[in-house]
Every structure is written in structure tokens, then in C-alpha cells.
Amino acid sequence: MNGRIPRFAAFFALLVYVWTSLAPAAWAQSPAPEEGGLVRLFSEDFGGATKGKYAAGEVRLDSGTWYLDDALLGKDDNPDGTQKDKRVGERSVRIRNSGKLEMRFDVDARGRVRVDVLHAMYGSDQGGRWRLEYSPDKGETWRALGEEVASGPDLALASFSLDLEGFVRFRVLKTDGSTDGKVRINVAEFAVYTGAPGENPPSFGPPGDGQDVPPRDPTAPDEGGASPPSGGNGDHPVKLHLIHTNDIHAKIGDFAKLARYVQDVRAHEPYTLFLDIGDQFSGDAVVDLPKGKPMVELMNAVGLDAMVVGNHDFDYGPEETQARRAESTYPWLAANVHVADPAATPLTPFVPYVVFRWDSAGRVERIVGNPGDHDRDFGRETSRLTVGVLAVTQAPPATAPKNVVGLEFEPYIPAIERYLWLRDRVDVLILATHVGYPDDRLLAEHFGPVFDLIAGAHSHTRLDKPVWVNGVPIVQTGAHLENVGHTVLTVDPGARRVIHVDGELVPLASLTEADPRIQEIVDRATADVRSFLEEVVGTSQRGLSQAGKTRGDTPLGNFWTDAMRFYLRDLDPAPDIAFMNGGGIRGDLAPGPITRGDLYRIEPFANQLTVIDLPGRALEEILRYSYTRDGRNTVDLQVSGMHYTLVTDAQGNLLDVHMEVGGKPVDPDRIYRVVVPDYIGTGGSGYPFPRLGEIRFTMVGLVTQALEEYARHLMDTRGSVDADKEGRIRIEVRVGAEEPDLVSVRAVREAPEGTLVRTRGVVTTPLGAWGGKGFYLQDDTGGIYVYQTNDEDFGPGDEVEVVGRTKVYNGELEIADPVRVTLVRRGAPLPAARVVAPTPEDLAAHQGELVRLEGVRIENLRQANKYGSFEFLAAGASGAGVLVRVDSRTGLDYTRFTEGLGFREGDVLDVVGIASVYNGTYQLKPRGAEDFVRRSAEVPAPPAPPVEESPPKEVPGGDLDAGVLPPPAAPPDQSPPPQEGPRERVAHLLDRLLARFMESFRLIFARLFVPVAPWFSFFAGGK
């Protein structure tokens, strides 16, 4: 031991001498800090990845999303930690062949931009040249910035300047023309600065501004005590962390995980907000039976900063809605909702906007706006940061009209325009909308970058990362608390404006830590209703399905409407007819015991039965409206006591309606008694019941009570709760009506969206593996998805003819809700799966078709959601790969795949599936266990870079596997790969800082102290 002390002391002394004397020379090669009026937007040293994890494609790093074309990212070291490849620097991008390194996120330039690139050749390579290019239109066109650059053996700094306003993207493009991978460029660091030259950026408010600002609400726990960032000139950009949820719909099972995640972010990030964008309620009896009280208690406990009022947040009625508002410690936002008649509603005016203001001490104040505010000073100039949130909700809202009596819902645009003065009063302006993704896009087109972010809801759209429309990023998390959104807005402290936006979705299933205090609230709320919900009310032998409800009657629809009439059988007169809108039926009943909880699951809206007297002629108008509303041309009303036929042409357009009650045609002059749920009975979804008939009874019982009573009656009289499809509703296509010409699937794919088409092909997948009763269809020219909900008597290997309109859904072309699907023949041969490379380009070329990936390796295997769906990266020999997603509805789930079939990380296999796409992410969708064939248990690692003395090796099959790997983006029922939490990011940052310190020290020795290198080995190794 004594022998080691002198060596360590000498090593330490030498370390101090070298660092203090010579470190400035080494650091001079790194991208320079802020100077003059320039502020650093970001610096990326590619330390967030290793070569074994990422290859060519889109990659999410700490600074944002990058695109690598024919490049390798990270490092590849020996097991003992010694350097294996010939990189220059600890981690880097190696650009080979004719590849490029491109930013996929956009920076907001304000006058002057400087880009610093730390570059070198890769090992002993020679002749590598490159140039920096920029794109002002997000990658549509590229322009050279500066002259071509030649890299040498040592790290060198290349700086480029550009005068530009607005969004800009950059890329490093290799220009030497080499195509064999033997000439490679090594990029070790990349930094971007922006600002107006000659200005020194001010801080976010001077310390000690003397204002008495209340701290964060005590109900919003900030465990961990994050310190506020320092003020003073030269501050780095400030990052606002927005945690957001939407359309939770009373699903609180994972709320304790959400709470812990919010706490962790707040503990590490002083500028953090937690917003909910609406529809907290309606969807689970645990929350709905006590009229939303558990949800409010949970949101108070976690410290929600504000919520947007969603349409279903009115569902409990105005008295309960006002009571929940009074219990909330956070404001309910809706700038376009006004109390038009205070005498008709207990609801008080909603808050149009809220401003959050961080003072010089880092404390945050919540300033609640007032309806009619035309201007207001929030102390922006003396604050560190001010954030405004303006909100609008669906107009009119999809809730029972009785819930919003006395309220007026204003169109979105004029409501928003009244508060645009906020733009000049805050640093960050967020538009929070519960209107749906299509309308979010329209608002972005209309207002442009007036808003720094649109946080959306209502349409249950899952956006795995921000989607940019007209310079505005839009985010939304999906629904049912499957994900929590985490969006980061970077603010320039000088210009006081947002210069960068990035974000991700964090699946709740990927989180492991939960707040026990919050879990106690969840458990108590569940226990309060458990015995009530677990009571069995009947048993079904066959189950009750709603499949096919847009094309005719269904077993569940018939049971449901029969229950409504049965419940009111003692009325005088009793109802002749019952109608139930299809949108109010929210699930199936499986074979087996039926609990009261099952009934609340399929009817979560607490609809009341309403009795209306209608003349026969009004029934025809109602049925016409139900089929044609919003241009849908689909069945909506399930029925009891009536048979009706909708006569259409070949295009699905309604021509006539035939109705029978008691086997006789409906008399247009007779008055019929009809029972409906109060949602449509009071005009919901535009139904004209109040205008056409006389409402005789309201609030005569809950729909769930009717379902329960009828289920018990069936058990007593028949022994089971079952029903059949009876033909109560039929669609008849008029004979001789003109149909579109029969065309190939390729022609269908080339037709404009919305075209009525007729095509024929072989069914290649089971029905319903990806929602409804949909299936994939393929002929000799291509394949396509057909989305429909009917229980059809066909499956894989059957040839069918389909008539319907094309539609793009989440980026994938499909034939949606076809007018008809006709069986042509059974036993047709299935198309052979085409062998393709594991690249998005190959999958894009064969969309909707059966394809095969051969010899791919399983990487990043993980369960994607609580139902057992799973995903992995299918990596080829070069490391390039594509995403494989397996939906548990195929019959194969994560447990069976890993335990039953024994597949694991690193296995090599052949996999067959459908080439598909979801919001720009190309993926393979296998049909079940039979689509996987194991090749080997060995892991074929990507080819390693050559050793120092040997010439670079060719990569066998490299051209086949080279491609782009998009970031994971999941279909609606699945979750993206787990992301690092705040703690992991901090730990990795410390690792990177230590690695950069040691790398700088190594470079100093390597270049300036070569003669004493043996001494360095002696000191470092203790030998």
C-alpha cells in the first residue's frame, strides 16, 4: 500500500500542473460560450447515445431530434473500457460514404446565428471534406453556409455565421464523393448560438425587486426543493417544463405514478407547470358514482396548476359541476364559455386565462384572469419568467344540453382574438384547447406563431412528439392516462421569447415509482364503491357485442334498447319504441358473469331516460338525420319496438326510409311514445327530438338501472343474459344503382382521399386485430387496410369485394366504414410475403402488404401497454432497423412471446407482418405467433470499426440494411419506448461531464506530453 501513495501523489501533482497550465489550450477547441449579443441555444456532444444503441436514422438526444444518414453515433469500446474504434473524442458521429448529420428540430433565429462544429478525420482516414448547409423551410430546400471544409487528424473548430430571422435547420453534408466508407468525418460537438450582435442579454429580472409575491400553493408539493436558476447577465436560456394530461375520463389507477413523475420534474426543474386540458370526468364508476369528488381530491393533492373545461366536465349537471369547481384549488379555464342567463344556472363565469409569474427569488405566483380583461400588467419586466395560458373548449359541447342550460358557447376564433393582447404581456403564451386535433391545426393555420404552443385534447389523438403547423407546435397525449406529456419550451432571456420546443410522451406503464400518499386516495376511492360494483347482476353465455353498430342492429344494441322499454313497461301508455345512440355504447359484455361495474363501464355517462311523444312523420326525419349527420352515412340509432330499412344508392347516399312498428308501416299521423337517453332527448349531437315532439317525462331512471333490471329479468326468465342480431335495422342498396368501376388496390392507393372506390383482394389478417373488425386486403398490385365494425363471416384466405371511401387515419391510408363487403370465394391462396430490408424506405414502398424481414436481431424489447401489446427494434446486420409492434388483440402478448415462446433480447429471427405506418413512423405489424421464426440465439453485433493498422472492412449487405430509423411512435392503444426521467438525465449529465474532463486531459497528454506517456500509464495504472 505504501508503494501506491507516492505514485498517486505524483499523479495528482502532475494532473494539477497540466490542468492549470495547459487546459486552456485544449478547451479553446470546444465551441465558444456566449459572446456579444449571442446566446447559446444548445450544445450537443452526442453523449446521450452509444454505437450499440443507435445507427442510421432519427435519434432523440438531450438537445432534440437528429437525423443520421449513413452515419454511426456514439462510441464502441472494448469490454474493459479501452477504446476500440478510431474516433477522435469520447463520443461522436462518424459520417461515412456520402452521409449527412441533420438536425430534425428547428431553432428560432433572431438576426444572427453562429454554428460551431468540432470536427476531425476518423482515425487514419484521409481526404474527408464536408460543408455546412442550412434550411429556412424545415428541410424542403438546403443552402450552403460557407466554404467546403477539410478535416484533419486532430479536433478543429469550424465556425459559421448567418443573418436570418425565423426558424432554421442545419446539417453537415459529406462532399468528398467517397462511397466505400473508408473516408469518414468525425463530428465531436455541435453548437448553435443566436442573437442580435452588440447586445448583452439581460437576466430574467434583477435580484431583489422588492415585490411581495406569494409562493406556490401549499397544495402543490415541490418535494426535493429545486433551487431557482441564477440571474445576472449571460444567463443560459431558461427551460419551461410543461407536464400535461388530457381526456383522463376518470381513469385514476395510475394516478400515484403521475404524481411521483410531477414531483420529480418539479424537484429538478424550477420552471415547471402541470396542466390538464380537460375531460377529467366520465368514464369510470370509481370517480363517476361520487360525481367526480375523487378526481378533484387527487388533482388538489398533486398540485394541478390549471385545467381546461372539457365537454364531459359538464356531465354531472350544473350543480355538481359548480360544487367540484368550489372544491378545486386550481382554476377551470374556458375563454369562450359565458353565463348568458344567471337565473338558469348555478354556474359562475369561467376563467378565460391564467398567468404564472416567477419572481426574482424563484417563487411562482398564479394570476387568474377575468372575463372581459382588455389589458393587464403582470410585471413581466421585473420577473424571471411569465407564462400565459389561454383556453377554449368545444362549442357547442358534446354533453347533454340540460347540463349547460344558461351558458353560451362562443366560436373559437373571436374568443381567442379578444385576448391576443396577452402576447405582449408574457414571455410564453400557450393556447390550451379542448376542441380536437383537426381544429387545433386550423387554429394554428389561422393564428400562426402568435402562440408558442397549442396543448390540445378532446380527439384522443396521440402525438408522440410536437407536430408543427404554420410555425406552431401542437401536443396531445391520447387519453385515459395512458401517457403523460412532457414538453420543454426554451426561452431566450434576452429577447424574452421561445426559441426551441421539444417534447415527449411518457407512458404511465413505463413508470415504476408511485407516491404512496396519492395511492392511498386512489385505494380509498376504489374501496368506497368496490362492493357495489362487484355485485353480479347476470351471466351471459355468448357475450353481447356492439360490433357492426354502424351497419345494422347488434346483440348489445338490442339488449340495451329492450332494457329501456322494459324498465318503463308500467307507464301508461308504455313506450312503443326505444332509441339508443351508438356513441353512448362504450364497450362489449364478454361471456361470463356480468357485474354492475361492467354496466357502468359500457355506459359511463349517467344518462337518464327521457320519454317523448312523436308523430310518425317525425320518426322518419329523425332516422334520416341519424344516418346522414355530418356526412357520415352510417347507422347511429339502435332500436327496440321498430324495424327500419335505410335505402341507399351504391355510394351509400340515403334515398328512402322504411319503418314498421308491430309489423305494420308507421302511420305518419299517429303519435308514438319513444324512450331515449336524455343526451339525445334534449338535443345532443344535433338530434331534433325537442323540436319534433313533446317531452312527457324526464329523469325517470338511469340507463344503467334499466340495464341491470333487465339483466336480472332475463336471468329469472331465461337463465342467461343474451341477445341476437335480429335484422331490426337493414341497409338496402337499390338495385341498378351505379357503382364505381372495379379497380386494383394500387389504383385505390393512388386515388385522392375521400374517393369512393370498389376493389377486390384476399384478406390477409384476422378480423379485429387492430380495432373494430378491420382487416388488411391485398391483390397482385398492393395492400390496404379496411376499417369496419361488422361481424363478417370471412377471414384470411377469403377473397372479398369492398366498396367504400378512402381515408387517411394517423398517416395510414384505409377504406373506412365500407358501404358493403361481399365474399367472392373462400380458400384463395394468401399472397407470399415479400422479403424486404429492415428500412422505412422498404416498408413505405409496400404499405398494406405482407412482407418478411430475415435475420433481424431483437433490440429494445418491451411491453408497450397494460394489455400486453409489445414492440421491439428489428435490427439488420448494419444496425439499421425498423419498429415491430405486436397488438395483444392478435392473440400474442408480451408474456406469451417472452415466456411461452422464449424470445428474448438479442435473438435473431425472421418475422412476417403487414407493412404499416403510424403518424410518420413505418412499422411492421405481425398477425400472431406464427409470424415469428427463430434463426439463432447468437447476437450478430453490428460490424465494428477497423483497428488502427488495418484498412476498413466492407459491410456485407450494407446497402440492403442502410436506412432511416424513425423515433418510436405508437398506435392509439400502445405506448412509446420509455424515456429517461429527470434523475437519470442528471446522472447521465454528470457522467458526460466527467468523461469530457478525462478526454480533455487525455488529449493534452497525447499531443503535448508524448515523451511522458509511459509515466502517465504508470501513474494511472499503478504499475
Which string of DSSP letters, residue by residue, matches 622-639?
Answer: HHHHHHHGGG--S--EEE
Could you give the 3-state DSSP secondary structure of residue 245?
A: strand
| CA 258/CA 270 separation, integer angstroms | 18
| CA 510/CA 508 separation, integer angstroms | 5
Q: Domain range holding 88?
A: 38-195
Domain assignment present for residue 181? The answer is: yes
Q: What is the CATH number of the domain that holds 150?
A: 2.60.120.260
Residue 48 pLDDT: 53
| CA 755/CA 753 separation, integer angstroms | 6
Q: Tell me: do 824 and 853 sit in the same domain.
A: no
Residue environment code for 346-376, b if the CB has 16+ CB neighbours within 10 A, otherwise e: ebeebbbbbbbbbbbebbbbbeebeeeeeee
Q: Tell me: do 769 and 620 sit in the same domain.
A: no
The cell numbers describing 925, all together, are 405489424
Amino acid found at 909: L
Domain assignment present for residue 944? The answer is: no
* H/E element, 855: strand 850-863
Q: Tell me: do 304 and 444 sit in the same domain.
A: yes
The cell numbers describing 679, all together, are 343526451
Residue 120, strand partner residues? 186
Amino acid found at 998: M
Residue 852, strand partner residues? 835, 912
The cell numbers describing 352, all together, are 378565460
Q: Is the previous residue joined to 396 through a cis bond, with omega within 30 degrees of 0?
A: yes
Q: Tell me: do 857 and 813 sit in the same domain.
A: no
Q: Tell me: do 763 and 719 sit in the same domain.
A: no
Q: At what angle do helices 293-302 and 255-268 cross, to 10 degrees?
A: 20
| CA 267/CA 227 separation, integer angstroms | 9
Residue 81 pLDDT: 59
462, 485, 520 - which closes a domain: 520
- Determine phi and psi for 739, rounding to 5 degrees: -110, 155
- Residue that the C-alpha cell 405506448 belongs to: 975
Q: What is the CATH number of the domain that holds 561?
A: 3.90.780.10
Q: Tell me: do 709 and 775 sit in the same domain.
A: no
Residue 975 pLDDT: 34
Whether 63 contacts 42, CB under 8 Å: yes
Task: Decide: residue 17, CB within 10 A, 0-12 exposed, 13-18 middle, 19+ buried.
Answer: exposed
Contacts of 900 (CB under 8 A, 6+ apart): none
CA triplet 312, 316, 317: central angle to 5 degrees?
A: 105
CB atoms under 10 Å from CB of 582, counted, come to 18
- Residue that the C-alpha cell 341507399 belongs to: 648
937, 954, 978 - which closes a domain: 937
Let me know how long the chain is.
1023
| CA 277/CA 53 separation, integer angstroms | 35
Contacts of 983 (CB under 8 A, 6+ apart): 264, 268
| CA 124/CA 980 separation, integer angstroms | 36
Domain assignment present for residue 287? The answer is: yes
Contacts of 637 (CB under 8 A, 6+ apart): 579, 580, 581, 582, 622, 623, 626
Q: What is the CATH number of the domain that holds 487?
A: 3.60.21.10
Q: What is the CATH number of the domain that holds 757?
A: 2.40.50.200
- Residue that the C-alpha cell 416498408 belongs to: 843
Q: Tell me: do 580 and 629 sit in the same domain.
A: yes
Q: What is the CATH number of the domain that holds 844?
A: 2.40.50.140
Whether 600 contacts 664, CB under 8 Å: no
How do strand 812-825 and strand 783-787 relate by DSSP bridges? parallel
Residue 107 pLDDT: 78
Could you give the 3-state DSSP secondary structure of residue 712?
A: helix
| Dihedral sign for Cα atoms in the order 15, 18, 21, 26 | negative
Domain assignment present for residue 716? The answer is: yes
The cell numbers describing 553, all together, are 342492429
Q: Tell me: do 818 and 857 sit in the same domain.
A: no
The cell numbers describing 950, all together, are 488495418
Return the closest-CA partner of residue 689 out of 635, 628, 612: 612
Q: Tell me: do 283 and 384 sit in the same domain.
A: yes
Question: What single DSSP character describes residue 141?
Answer: S
As for how many domains the chain has, the answer is 5
Domain assignment present for residue 485? The answer is: yes
Domain assignment present for residue 256? The answer is: yes
Q: Tell me: do 318 and 352 sit in the same domain.
A: yes
Q: Tell me: do 812 and 842 sit in the same domain.
A: no
Return the closest-CA partner of residue 723 out of 849, 572, 917, 563: 563
- Those residues of the chain that have pLDDT short of 50 are 1-35, 49-54, 197-234, 937-996, 998-1000, 1002-1023
Q: Tell me: do 549 and 610 sit in the same domain.
A: yes
Residue 74 pLDDT: 58
Return the closest-CA partner of residue 274 out of 260, 262, 256: 262
Residue 42 pLDDT: 74
Residue 66 pLDDT: 79
| CA 390/CA 430 separation, integer angstroms | 6
How do strand 799-809 and strand 812-825 relate by DSSP bridges? antiparallel
Contacts of 136 (CB under 8 A, 6+ apart): 143, 164, 166, 167, 168
171, 195, 219 - which closes a domain: 195
Domain assignment present for residue 508? The answer is: yes
Residue 737 pLDDT: 64
Domain assignment present for residue 390? The answer is: yes
